[in-house]
Amino acid sequence: MQITFAAKQSAALPRLVARIVARDTFPNDLPAHVREGAVAGRFAGKPGQVFETCYEDDGRLVRLALAGCGNGNGETYPGHAGVERAGAALAAKYLTSGETEIALDLSGTAFTAEQVAAVLVGLTLRAWRWDAYRTRLKDEQKRSLEKVIVLDAPAGTPEAWELDQAMVRGVEFTRELVTEPANILYPESFVARAKERFAGTGVEIEVLGEEEMRKLGMGALLGVSQGSPRESQLLVMKWMGGNPGDKPALFVGKGVTFDTGGISLKPPAGMEDMKWDMGGAGAVTGAMLAIAGRKAKANVIGVCGLVENMPDGNAQRPGDVVTTMSGQTVEVINTDAEGRLVLCDAMTWAQGQFEPDVMVELSTLTGAMIVSLGHEHGGVFSNSDALADHLLEAGTESGDKLWRFPLSAAYDKLIDSPIADMKNVGPRYAGSITAAQFLQRFVEDGVDWAHLDIAGMAWADKPGATWDKGATGYGVRLLDRFVRDTREG
């Protein structure tokens, strides 16, 4: 989406014009008949509500859209969530309308630069689509809206949008990665696409292949991928924008580019969805693009363990014992509980390599998390109350909501193995918790750690406020806001 800024008096206005309207409040310069029509149509300025009408202005047809943004906390104009939904509602309604341009008329309003930027965030995020493989769309199905002209924006809006646009690009990149099918996006092509997208950003890329990981003793990660002809990769992205010598924040992502379940084969129905089992790695990669794009004054490392979990004659078997890079041994009870095997080696390597003070790991880890929270929140587990609170707050601010779950030594016995240090799964109950307990065994002393289980959030079966059906880009905004709030002065 192309965004430009102009003064209303000097701009050549397109036919489609939008106004953002707070609850039960109309701009003073709206024609009376437009107000009457909106009231008659029960338009009240609720978040995401849209009313459209047409009128003639000096012989020119104006197609006017009113988008509601609510009135957060009783204020005349709302916080960012309401105005973001207003922008998203405009994109949802007009993306395939045949209109190529929309003017966002802010004259006579009192929105801040940050609120206007939020409107644009909602509009551009909701407008994202991946049509690369759709060759027979009808004209009325094709995307037409390509340009937004912002009229009479308050001072500082272009600068506020520039910061938010970096985040938007990160979300869009994550959605692209999560959407791509597994025959296109696999560990090596994931790395190639990341290298291409990060070129010129200042992010330093490092990649470990299977031979290097084998020498390091990453038996758990390599055990997952041994049934696939696709070579596993460890992708490392380094952004050192903070003070030299400051410990970095470490983000680790699960990147299972396709998960059949291995020998513990998943049921066929719905298995095609398992292309998004790399949603954690996608979120970390998109967050690194966002952080670098706005030149964040922070030291941040992103590490993604990228594998494909396939069944063949060389695949890992239930009952196998693997030795992790940490030296701890794992009895593999279920080869479909593979994400934690990938993550434990990635976490061990990254902690030893970068000595972070904070480590946040994201993964589409357990179906049990979807049973617990549905598709409304990601789950957070942490050994640090302060870190958990920061992430919960960042989730609220960004819209990538989280809910905290417990960790307790009482759950450890559920993953004890009679022949190894631990099993990779426990019993049916508390499945998300035992997965977190497993990962906690690979956290080094002195590291504040959080595990985010985003299994219910990376993909949506129906449209949301700022996304269409499909990849949501969940996690990018959360990590970007966390860095803004806790790592930058």
Over residues 143-199, the pLDDT tens digits come to 999 999 999 999 999 999 999 999 999 999 999 999 999 999 999 999 999 999 999
Query: How many angstroms separate the Cα of 123 from the Cα of each of 55, 89, 93?
Result: 24, 7, 10
Is 35 an annotated catalytic residue?
no
The pLDDT of residue 163 is 94
Cα–Cα distance between 46 and 17 in angstroms, integer?
Answer: 19
Cα–Cα distance between 487 and 359 in angstroms, integer?
Answer: 13
The shares of helix, strand and coil residues in the chain, as percent rounded to the nearest 5, are: 40, 20, 40
Structure token digits, residue 123: 């509009």
Contact criterion met (CB below 8 Å) for 324 and 218: yes
Cα–Cα distance between 333 and 192 in angstroms, integer?
Answer: 33
In the predicted structure, residue 489 carries a pLDDT above the cut 90: no
77 band by pLDDT with thresholds 50, 70 and 90: low
Mean pLDDT value across residues 217-234:
98
- Chain centroid to CA 305: how far? 17
In the predicted structure, residue 71 carries a pLDDT above the cut 90: no
List pLDDT tens digits, range 239-295: 999 999 999 999 999 999 999 999 999 999 999 999 999 999 999 999 999 999 999
The pLDDT of residue 340 is 98
The pLDDT of residue 29 is 84
Active-site residue, selected from the candidate residues 19, 340, 423, 484: 340
Mean pLDDT value across residues 130-150:
96
In the predicted structure, residue 75 carries a pLDDT above the cut 60: no
Other C-beta atoms lying within 10 Å of the C-beta of residue 152:
17
Angle between helices 157-179 and 187-198 (to 10 degrees): 160
Contact criterion met (CB below 8 Å) for 53 and 37: yes
Helix (H) or strand (E) holding 8: none
57 band by pLDDT with thresholds 50, 70 and 90: confident
3-state DSSP assignment of residue 299? strand
Q: Residue 22, class by beta-carbon neighbours within 10 Å (0-12 exposed, 13-18 middle, 19+ buried)? A: buried
Is 247 an annotated catalytic residue?
no
Strands 101-105 and 233-240: unpaired
The pLDDT of residue 28 is 83
Tracing tokens 């207003």 back to the chain, one arrives at 86
The pLDDT of residue 371 is 97
Cα–Cα distance between 169 and 320 in angstroms, integer?
Answer: 42
The pLDDT of residue 25 is 86
> Domains, the chain, ranges and CATH?
2-153 (3.40.220.10), 165-486 (3.40.630.10)
212 band by pLDDT with thresholds 50, 70 and 90: very high
134 band by pLDDT with thresholds 50, 70 and 90: very high
Contact criterion met (CB below 8 Å) for 411 and 426: yes
Q: What is the dihedral of CA 186, 190, 191, 192, to 10 degrees?
A: 100
**Alpha helices (H) along 355-384:** 367-373
The pLDDT of residue 364 is 98
**Alpha helices (H) along 238-355:** 279-293, 339-354
Helix (H) or strand (E) holding 20: strand 16-21
3-state DSSP assignment of residue 37? helix
Angle between helices 476-486 and 385-398 (to 10 degrees): 120
Active-site residue, selected from the candidate residues 143, 266, 404, 441: 266
Contact criterion met (CB below 8 Å) for 29 and 64: no
Cβ contacts of residue 35 below 8 Å, gap of 6+? 26
Cα–Cα distance between 432 and 454 in angstroms, integer?
Answer: 11
- What is the overall mean pLDDT for the chain? 95
List pLDDT tens digits, range 95-122: 999 999 999 999 988 899 999 999 999 9
- In the chain, what is the straight-line distance between the N-terminal and C-terminal CA atoms, in Å? 31
Q: What is the DSSP letter of 154?
A: P
Of 42-51, 74-83, 176-185, 453-462, minimum mean pLDDT range? 74-83
- Chain centroid to CA 163: how far? 17
Cα–Cα distance between 67 and 281 in angstroms, integer?
Answer: 35
List pLDDT tens digits, range 364-418: 999 999 999 999 999 999 999 999 999 999 999 999 999 999 999 999 999 999 9
Report which residue type is found at 275.
K
74 band by pLDDT with thresholds 50, 70 and 90: very low
The pLDDT of residue 78 is 57
In the predicted structure, residue 53 carries a pLDDT above the cut 90: yes
3-state DSSP assignment of residue 289? helix
What's the predicted TM-score (pTM) here? Answer: 0.96
